[in-house]
């Protein structure tokens, strides 16, 4: 029986495992001139050019292009692509930006949530992302997460929906208006309903759920505790923003009488079910505590830089044993959902802080594949291309211009000499990008409706 798909003549990176021999062929985790066979949504087998290739129904000649595991996005707010580069907010601080936009987001409905998720997934596929989580914490209407799950399901994109929540509006000392927050009972009931409806714990799942109170500025301590208990009961993951802004230290001490990390620990979140977004301002001692507890962190390079904040010290956190993944963050802060660009951002930030020998392209690729997969509790199947892994992978375009002169290190060349786009993106063995084009029949219609919804939200004409 032939396998479904064979990709041959590739520079294969099976697993991003730090520095590798630059010209090694057929050794370690990188195979120059290798092949990879896909079957039933899985990596069937891999080999070097001297090993016999299996027969296949579809044979793709990669013509020497780089093939990596699909990138994994561990922090996003997809609905925000309805307010990208929104002029009244572009020069604000994080809090000014949020305060300006919350009233706009209060008009979110099922249609606009579905459309924004569809657009986000399509955009991510072109940047080589094959799995994304999404932190959806604005709930002016019920059933918005149901609406958003329709989009990746139609597309065939792997998705972890984070059931976000906010309980404290401006009237209770929080940031958001009351239209977008919910009471605790509603949040917990809806969380259980979503888990029982959509969460697939089985290997090869296309949709999983996690639970994700927004941040200490907008949720009560009791919902933090109750959410952790619910996550344990249903064996799902936990996510929140932590230590994203310097003001968080002052706020936490004033409101909770503790530092942010102590608060997280007291709420029952310091364990390996949890990954946190940003995590910039932990002390060295707090970093060690969270690393040893198994908490993961997501660095969001573009968002941190465009909002002019600091960024997680990914290198230091990784050295402590913490799994550090990559996220593009919400579309209205980063304004772009391109995991290649975020991976490059992580490379630049680490080297900017620690020097040229401190961090390689393979370290950065490790973050956006294995590190991100670990954030989602999914490293058994995602973030690598060992036989048996999910068949989520990217054949990267090899631009004759930007790759001209790249002769000695394919992975460094890929990340330094871009921009790089996906030539072909496979999710569960299905080719969703082919020859640089999205294979989505509904895309034009979705883009047209997205424009109408975005214009209505921003109060401008379409």
Task: List contacts with Zn ion (CB under 5 A).
Answer: 329
* Cis upstream peptide for 198 (omega within 30°): no
Strand boundaries in 243-369, DSSP class E:
274-278, 296-299, 324-326
Q: How far is the CB of 330 from Zn ion (least distance, A)?
A: 5
DSSP helix/strand/coil, 43? strand
Nearer to Zn ion, 8 or 76 (CB): 76
Nearer to Zn ion, 329 or 338 (CB): 329
Distance separating alpha carbons of residues 102 and 80, to the nearest angstrom:
10
Q: How far is the CB of 314 from Zn ion (least distance, A)?
A: 17
In contact, 282 and 312? CB cutoff 8 Å: no
Q: How far is the CB of 223 from Zn ion (least distance, A)?
A: 18
Nearer to Zn ion, 144 or 446 (CB): 144
Q: How far is the CB of 170 from Zn ion (least distance, A)?
A: 20
Q: How far is the CB of 218 from Zn ion (least distance, A)?
A: 12
Distance separating alpha carbons of residues 247 and 258, to the nearest angstrom:
13
What is the sign of the dihedral through the CA atoms of 337, 131, 444 and 432? positive
Angle between helices 94-105 and 443-458 (to 10 degrees): 110
Q: How far is the CB of 28 from Zn ion (least distance, A)?
A: 36
Distance separating alpha carbons of residues 462 and 448, to the nearest angstrom:
10
Nearer to Zn ion, 15 or 329 (CB): 329
Nearer to Zn ion, 329 or 381 (CB): 329
Distance separating alpha carbons of residues 222 and 226, to the nearest angstrom:
6
Q: How far is the CB of 245 from Zn ion (least distance, A)?
A: 11
In contact, 154 and 117? CB cutoff 8 Å: no
Nearer to Zn ion, 69 or 296 (CB): 296
Nearer to Zn ion, 334 or 394 (CB): 334
Q: What is the CA 324 to chain-centroid distance, rounded?
A: 11
Strand boundaries in 124-205, DSSP class E:
129-136, 158-165
């Amino acid at each position: 029986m032939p396998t479904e798909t064979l990709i041959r003549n590739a520079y294969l990176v099976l697993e991003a495992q730090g520095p590798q021999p630059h010209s090694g062929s057929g050794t370690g985790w990188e195979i120059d001139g290798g092949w990879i066979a896909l079957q039933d949504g899985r990596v069937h087998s891999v080999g070097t050019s001297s090993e016999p290739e299996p027969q296949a129904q579809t044979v793709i000649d990669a013509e020497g292009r780089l093939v990596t595991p699909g990138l994994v996005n561990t922090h996003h707010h997809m609905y925000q692509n309805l307010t990208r580069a929104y002029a009244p907010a572009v020069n604000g601080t994080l809090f000014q930006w949020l305060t300006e936009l919350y009233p706009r987001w209060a008009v979110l409905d099922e249609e606009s949530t579905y459309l924004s998720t569809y657009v986000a997934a399509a955009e991510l596929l072109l940047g080589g992302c094959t799995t994304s989580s999404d932190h959806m914490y604005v709930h002016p209407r019920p059933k918005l997460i149901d609406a958003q799950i329709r989009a990746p399901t139609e597309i065939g994109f792997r998705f972890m929906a984070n059931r976000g929540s906010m309980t404290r509006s401006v009237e209770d000392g929080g940031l958001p208006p009351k239209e977008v927050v919910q009471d605790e009972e509603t949040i917990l009931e809806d969380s259980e309903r979503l888990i029982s409806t959509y969460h697939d714990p089985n290997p090869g799942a296309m949709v999983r759920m996690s639970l994700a109170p927004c941040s200490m500025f907008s949720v009560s301590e009791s919902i933090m505790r109750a959410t952790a208990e619910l996550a344990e009961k249903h064996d799902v993951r936990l996510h929140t923003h932590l230590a994203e802004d310097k003001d968080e230290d002052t706020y936490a001490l004033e409101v909770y009488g503790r530092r942010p990390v102590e608060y997280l620990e007291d709420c029952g979140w310091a364990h390996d079910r949890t990954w946190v977004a940003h995590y910039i301002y932990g002390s060295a001692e707090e970093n060690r505590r969270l690393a040893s507890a198994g908490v993961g962190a997501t660095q969001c390079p573009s968002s941190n830089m465009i909002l002019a904040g600091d960024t997680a010290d990914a290198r230091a956190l990784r050295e402590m044993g913490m799994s550090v993944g990559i996220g593009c963050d919400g579309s209205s802060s980063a304004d772009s959902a391109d995991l290649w660009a975020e991976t490059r951002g992580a490379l630049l930030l680490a080297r900017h802080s620690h020097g040229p020998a401190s961090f390689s392209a393979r370290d950065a690729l490790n973050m956006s594949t294995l590190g991100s997969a670990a954030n989602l509790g999914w490293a058994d199947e995602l973030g690598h291309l060992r036989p048996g892994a999910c068949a989520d992978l990217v054949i990267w375009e090899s631009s004759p211009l930007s790759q001209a002169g790249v002769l000695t290190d394919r992975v460094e060349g890929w990340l330094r000499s871009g921009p790089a786009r996906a030539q072909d993106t496979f999710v569960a063995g299905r080719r969703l990008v082919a020859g640089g084009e999205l294979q989505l029949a509904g895309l034009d219609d979705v883009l047209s409706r997205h424009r109408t919804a975005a214009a209505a939200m921003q109060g401008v004409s379409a």
